[in-house]
Amino acid sequence: MKTTVTLSALLGLAGLTSAHYTFDKLLVNDVKQGGDNTYIRKHTRGYMPTKGTEILEEDFRCNTNAQPAPQVMTVKPGDKIGFQQAFGANGIEHPGPTQVYMTAAKNGAKNEDGSGDWFKVAQSLICKAGNAESLRNYAWCSWKENNVNFVMPESVPDGEYLVRAEHIALHGAHAGQAEFYYACAQIKVEGSKATAAPSPTTKIPGVYAVKDKAINFSLWGSSTSYPEIPGIPVMAGGEIRGSADGKSGDKRVAAPGASDSSTKAAAPATNNNAAAPSNNNNNNNNNNAAPSGNNDNNKPAGNKGFGGETKAAAASANGPSCKSRRSKRFES
């Protein structure tokens, strides 16, 4: 018994070194720029993820002891920006979304400490619709890609920025062990016609709370979608890749924003139905169809996912590390 546990611990550790990652190489239009950490700030966490209450620390901005990089990369709207993995890693094999945040650097990107407001310029979710099992791996847009990437939208004004790319691994999220992988690049945007300050904004740390649903989501239930948005919504015109259920495939679309509100007044319609039954004391007889329809929309996925997942969660609750599931199977 004891031998088995030790063996599985060893297997788990062996897996960790190859499974974990950070980002140190900047890509522009899929071409590597400079060397390691020429444009991406070097930090001392190595490939280990940030977890738990560490997301409340100041180092959650650009990672542990991050130091200004020697250079600032100039890009224009429409350029594809990528943060490639460090240490020879060649593909993200953790399930979860990616986010890219930016903060304006009024005194230059090299001098920016990230204490100001950040906006979210891009988000990737699920690119392949599938079953619950697929959500534990290849359903995600970033699966097996060796970089976190996005296309610089027209809606980001000219100027220097810190750009923070992040992948959240969710395999341990049900047990409060979501893993955050991230680094910051120093980038100058030139050629934008945008003048409005991007919104909404957040502070980092502060963008996530430890108990946020989006980072405590279980992949071990029956859910075939990820109906959560970690942090704040993507800015108007920013990039959303994939979708909550992957049914739209691997597409990059512009996020809607306040300026589009005149064309999008459709959403509130369903509220009228919900209001109607409250006039009747006789809940049982009236409007049976409507309430049950509402329940179908709101609950089943969540209920089955969260109710059914308790056992699965308990079964894999030992798994703060990625490969421990595998070793656990070997045990049993």
Interacting residues with Cu ion (CB under 5 A): 20, 179, 322
Q: Which residue is nearest to Cu ion (CB)?
A: 322
Find all residues with CB under 8 Å of 295, minimum gap 6, and list them. none
Shortest approach of Cu ion to residue 20 CB, angstroms?
A: 5
Buried b (16+ CB within 10 A) or exposed e, 277-308: beeeeeeeeebeeeeeeeeeeeeebeeebbeb
Shortest approach of Cu ion to residue 319 CB, angstroms?
A: 10
User: With respect to Cu ion, which residue has the nearer C-beta, 20 or 42?
Assistant: 20
Shortest approach of Cu ion to residue 322 CB, angstroms?
A: 4
CB atoms within 10 A of CB 196: 13
User: With respect to Cu ion, which residue has the nearer C-beta, 28 or 219?
Assistant: 219
User: Bridge-partner residues for 104, per DSSP?
Assistant: 161
User: With respect to Cu ion, which residue has the nearer C-beta, 122 or 170?
Assistant: 170
Question: What's the Cα-to-Cα distance from 18 to each of 101, 138, 327, rounded to whole Å?
Answer: 26, 18, 15
CB atoms within 10 A of CB 274: 12
User: With respect to Cu ion, which residue has the nearer C-beta, 170 or 240?
Assistant: 170
- Backbone φ and ψ for 177, nearest 5 degrees, come out as -120, 40
User: With respect to Cu ion, which residue has the nearer C-beta, 28 or 214?
Assistant: 214
- Backbone φ and ψ for 250, nearest 5 degrees, come out as -90, 80
Shortest approach of Cu ion to residue 15 CB, angstroms?
A: 9
User: With respect to Cu ion, which residue has the nearer C-beta, 15 or 256?
Assistant: 15
Q: What's the N-to-C CA distance of the chain in angstroms?
A: 11
Q: How far apart are the C-alpha atoms of 209 and 230, rounded to whole Å?
A: 10
Shortest approach of Cu ion to residue 330 CB, angstroms?
A: 18
Shortest approach of Cu ion to residue 325 CB, angstroms?
A: 11
User: With respect to Cu ion, which residue has the nearer C-beta, 99 or 243?
Assistant: 99
Shortest approach of Cu ion to residue 324 CB, angstroms?
A: 10
In sequence order, what DSSP letters do the residues of 42-109 get, joined into one string? B-SSTTPPB-GGGGGSGGGTT-TT-B--S--EEE-TT-EEEEEESTT---B-S---EEEEEEE-TT-G
